Amino acid sequence: MYPTRVFAVAVILCVLLSIPAWSQSLTSGDLTGVVTDQTGAVVPNAHVALSSSETGTTQNQETSGAGTYRFALLSPGAYVVSVTAPGFQSMARSVTVAVGQTTTSNLQLALATSSTTVEVASGQSIVETEDANLSTTLTPLQISQIPNPGNDLSYYVQTAPGVTMNTQAGYGNSATYGISGTSNLFTVDGMNENDPFLNLNNSGATNLMLGANDVREATVVNNGYSGQYGEMAGANVNYVTKSGSNHFHGNADYFWNGRTLNANDWFNNHTTPVTPRAFDNDNQWAASIGGPIVKNKTFFFVDTEGLRLLIPAVQPVNVPSPQFQAATIANLTSNGNAAEIPFYSHIFSLYNNAPGASRAADVLPGGGCGGFTSATLGSAPCALQFQSAISNLTNEWLITTRVDQVIGNNDRAFVHFRYDHGLQASYTDPLTSTLNAQSDQPDYEGQLQENHTFGASAVNQFIMAGSSRQT
């Protein structure tokens, strides 16, 4: 297979007027609500402030004449929304904003009797009231604790209602409500992460979609009705990467699995003679660190992940029997073709020295002769068979970096870069490693996003993304 390099560049400019329900986009969410007094009457011109619990950044608005407020294009995470108005007690509430969803937090103010601030803890609403999308959001805690060998991002899709694992040997890891596994759209920070040839999720040398340790939140939308969806008929799977905060944070994980932890393969145990337990070795790691460059202004996050695998390729192998080899050499000699004997001797040596060839047995029907007959062989078999279980190295290494910048009260931006490189064991030859085929697969990706708020009724989001990969 010749290597193929694919380039993709996308620029998305989105100007959103009057803040419709879909303004949260593929990488952000919205927060909205109504401010009322204790009688239920709306409170216009109240001052509403929104502060990020992680980065300390703030945004400010005044409620409309109907007492409503709305903060659009928010990065997912924890926030504190507070409201003050003349003649009322100030109030603060903790809220969580999720990707692709609108969080509603209605605030009721009490009449001021003294200078008092009321703090209320608020969880994320279970029922989406702003649109008809059926979505499942996975929090950072869920992503970190769901068992996921290989750190494959596509695995999380299977946790959503209506999604089943693909076990029918078709393309794609999962199907949504019976729709083909090639109909799912994967995005990372708003950039499409689909293979342009088979329309599957992008994957690296291990055929896994690495990056779980770099993902802050994942949202699986099974029927995207609102404007930011609609490119594919299946699930829209959106990933938003982690960012730094005002506090340094990180993690380090290492997983290992090997031959000593695994029993012999069922098929190996049922060969004659029994095939010994093969050597396998699985190393997997992840580590990250993030924090402030300039407090409340500039933040960084760096993640690295990798796999190093030796997995047996189990397959039956037929080799010429000693009697067949001897008959072939004798035939070459008697027919005056002795010059060809070194070539055939070399070929036979490959068969005879193949890993596991010493276990070859006469188990093929008719001695493996098929329609071949020879007086020289007599009743001897033409071919023997053994079970090969040899390994070939596959490895993959990923590193990502993200820098977030608070430009001003109305402008926020980030840039995210990812490099994925690996060596894939495309073919493992059972006779000699000289004939093994390996594929070098580098991948480069990047996203740039800038959000600008014009006021309470208009926002703008600019996304530029590109990728270059070789498969």
* 400 vs 53: which has the higher pLDDT: 400
Q: What rounded mean pLDDT belongs to the chain?
A: 85
Contact 133, 229 (CB under 8 A): yes
Residue 158 DSSP code: G
**Coil/strand/helix, residue 405:** strand
Portion of the chain with pLDDT greater than 70, in percent: 87
Task: Please give the pLDDT value at position 140.
Answer: 85
Q: Answer whether residue 153 shows pLDDT above 60.
A: yes
C-alpha–C-alpha distance, residues 217 and 142, integer Å: 9
How wide is the angle at C-alpha 53 spanned by C-alphas 49 and 58, nearest 5°? 30
Task: Please give the pLDDT value at position 43.
Answer: 94
- Taking only the tens place, the pLDDT of each residue in 346-380 is 999 999 999 999 999 999 999 999 888 777 888 89
- Amino acid, single-letter form, for residue 142: Q
Same fold, 25-121 and 135-314+391-470: no
Taking the domain 135-314+391-470, which CATH number applies? 2.170.130.10
C-alpha–C-alpha distance, residues 309 and 283, integer Å: 6
Q: Delimit the domains of the chain by residue range.
A: 25-121, 135-314+391-470
Task: Please give the pLDDT value at position 305.
Answer: 95
- Taking only the tens place, the pLDDT of each residue in 434-470 is 999 989 999 999 999 998 888 767 888 888 888 887 7
C-alpha–C-alpha distance, residues 377 and 382, integer Å: 8
C-alpha–C-alpha distance, residues 104 and 166, integer Å: 36
Average pLDDT over residues 152-178: 82
pTM value?
0.80
Distance, C-alpha 29 to centroid of its chain: 21
Nearest to 22 by CA among 70, 54, 84, 78: 70
Task: Please give the pLDDT value at position 316.
Answer: 93
The neighbour count for residue 262, using CB atoms within 10 Å, is 12
Task: Please give the pLDDT value at position 7.
Answer: 53
* 226 vs 207: which has the higher pLDDT: 207
Looking at CATH, the fold of the domain delimited by 25-121 is given as Immunoglobulin-like (2.60.40)
| Torsion region of 453: left, alpha or beta (phi above 0 gives left; psi -120 to 50 gives alpha) | beta
Task: Please give the pLDDT value at position 46.
Answer: 94
Task: Please give the pLDDT value at position 169.
Answer: 63
- Taking only the tens place, the pLDDT of each residue in 170-200 is 688 888 888 888 888 899 998 888 887 788 8
* 415 vs 226: which has the higher pLDDT: 415
Task: Please give the pLDDT value at position 298.
Answer: 96
Portion of the chain with pLDDT greater than 90, in percent: 47
Distance, C-alpha 128 to centroid of its chain: 25
Q: Answer whether residue 227 shows pLDDT above 70.
A: no
Task: Please give the pLDDT value at position 50.
Answer: 93
